[in-house]
Amino acid sequence: MSSLSDIARSIEASLTSRPPYCSGTLPVPPEQLILFYDIGGKLDLSDSAPEELDKLSDACQPATFGVNKEDVYDESYRKARKLDIRNFATLFNIDNIGLVDVIRNALLEGEDENRRIKVEMYKLNVYDSFFKPHKDTPRSASMFGSLVVVFPTPHEGGEFVLKQDGHEWEVDFARMISDTVQQPCIGYVSFFADVEHEVRIVTAGHRITLTYNLYFIPETQTVPAIFSSTPYEQRLAALLYTLLNNPSLLPEGGYLGFGLRHQYPVETGMEVEELQDCLKGNDAALARALSALGVTWQVRVFYRDFGASNYRYNYLHKRIVDLSGSEVEDDYNYGWYMGEGAEEVAYASLDGQVITQGCYDYDPPENGRKLARVTKMASMTSSQSPYVTYGNEPTLEHLYGDVCIVADLPASEHRTIKEVA
């Protein structure tokens, strides 16, 4: 029989196994490859002379990129040119070529395949150089991904590289498009918004792209409990079922924590339950699997090692807390500083043994519940804020919080887990 830690490792491996993108080529009617720009500028992107592409590049502005919600221009990081949507027009229509359906089927999983998607054109880029590794800036909590369309203009290099969790994938559009000689084709890559990506150096020609932001249109209810029969989610549910049915798992009950695999925009004071309708990719798959197994779950913030002097405590919270400017006295009434919506928990192993806080003194909450992690709790979505503690002398500390999915388990003798066929 597998140990609890072995099953937990299998669950974590399952949540990191799916590539966070889809890519390919699609045929396009020639008339959809006409681009109008500037004053009187017109270009056939399926058959353009180098000097015509030079004119388009000259009509563009230097491309910026997002850093901490600001647009930054730095040619050492990104060397490309852009046209904002008000400065060009195109007959290209992703709905007419079925690209949205391709994204649903190849990128999304389970019930997400049935969610309504809003596609928002963002900008046109002309690359004759590079864009170093970066992540896209989420425009809202409902933005789940990005779509890049590459037009069939002759170029060499400019490979699109994606990175996540130590894995790397390369999409060579120059080669893919050159292999489609029978009919004009576009290349595409769609990926979750928090995935790191880069454009390698374009060594010849011009690489012309359209970028779109992808949003889920909000539904009237949260993630449904109707379970998908996709093989990936079935495997995940089977692993969870094995773990949750083990009587050694938190025998007195408590919480199971799963760090989020994707990044979501959060801000001070935000109720993180708002993210439950916006979960994407593997996070959404995990939530659906827990619901199908009859397990209650919520999105919470896990604040660890909070306190003053040598005394540290852990909290689950409903919202993002900012203690900047706060002075925390060494009086052990730390729940008061955390505010409404905070619940003190004891950090524990999967079998329910309380884990001491390293070199810190730690008294588990007398009536508090235990929290054990299944996957890494260093979430992709996190927050931190500084605060000053007063014990023997003032000390600068930091409050670290990770947004996570928390499953609520009763004691093992009262636990009933549904089996998913």
Pair 145, 238 in one domain: no
Q: Which domain holds residue 286?
A: 219-414
**Which tens digit of pLDDT belongs to each residue from 207-262?**
999 999 999 887 654 444 444 446 778 889 999 999 999 999 999 999 999 998 88
Between 300 and 398, whose confidence is greater? 300
Alpha-carbon gap, residue 307 to 326, rounded angstroms: 12
**Which tens digit of pLDDT belongs to each residue from 1-22?**
578 999 898 888 888 777 888 9
Split at pLDDT 50, 70, 90, the class of 416 is very high
Whether 74 has a pLDDT exceeding 60, the answer reads no
Pair 153, 104 in one domain: yes
Pair 269, 361 in one domain: yes
Split at pLDDT 50, 70, 90, the class of 162 is very high
Pair 376, 260 in one domain: yes
Give the domain-ending residue among 170, 196, 216.
Answer: 216
Burial-class residue 321 by CB neighbours within 10 Å (0-12, 13-18, 19+): buried
* DSSP three-state, residue 194: coil
Token pair recorded at residue 103: 């994204």
Give the domain-ending residue among 161, 196, 216.
Answer: 216
Pair 174, 298 in one domain: no
Give the alpha-carbon dihedral of 205, 207, 208, 210, to 10 degrees.
180
Pair 274, 188 in one domain: no
Token pair recorded at residue 200: 């390698």
Pair 270, 366 in one domain: yes
Alpha-carbon gap, residue 310 to 399, rounded angstroms: 15
6 belongs to a structural domain: no
Mean pLDDT of the chain: 81
Print burial letters for 333-354: b (CB count within 10 Å at least 16), e (below 16): ebeebbeebbbbbbbbebebee
Between 71 and 336, whose confidence is greater? 336
Pair 202, 227 in one domain: no
378 belongs to a structural domain: yes
Alpha-carbon gap, residue 36 to 41, rounded angstroms: 6
Mean pLDDT of 271-280: 86
**Which tens digit of pLDDT belongs to each residue from 183-197?**
889 999 999 888 888
What domain count does the chain have? 2
Alpha-carbon gap, residue 315 to 387, rounded angstroms: 16
Compute the residue count for the chain: 421
Give the domain-ending residue among 199, 216, 233.
Answer: 216
Pair 52, 160 in one domain: yes
12 belongs to a structural domain: no
201 belongs to a structural domain: yes
3 belongs to a structural domain: no
Give the lowest-confidence range in 115-129, 248-262, 302-316: 302-316
**Which tens digit of pLDDT belongs to each residue from 95-108?**
888 899 888 878 88
Pair 108, 229 in one domain: no
Alpha-carbon gap, residue 336 to 387, rounded angstroms: 14
146 belongs to a structural domain: yes
1 belongs to a structural domain: no
Pair 368, 337 in one domain: yes
Q: What is the CATH number of the domain that holds 119?
A: 2.60.120
9 belongs to a structural domain: no
Between 377 and 333, whose confidence is greater? 377
Pair 208, 138 in one domain: yes
Instruction: Please state, as a whole number, how many other Cβ atoms lie within 10 Å of the Cβ of residue 253.
Output: 17
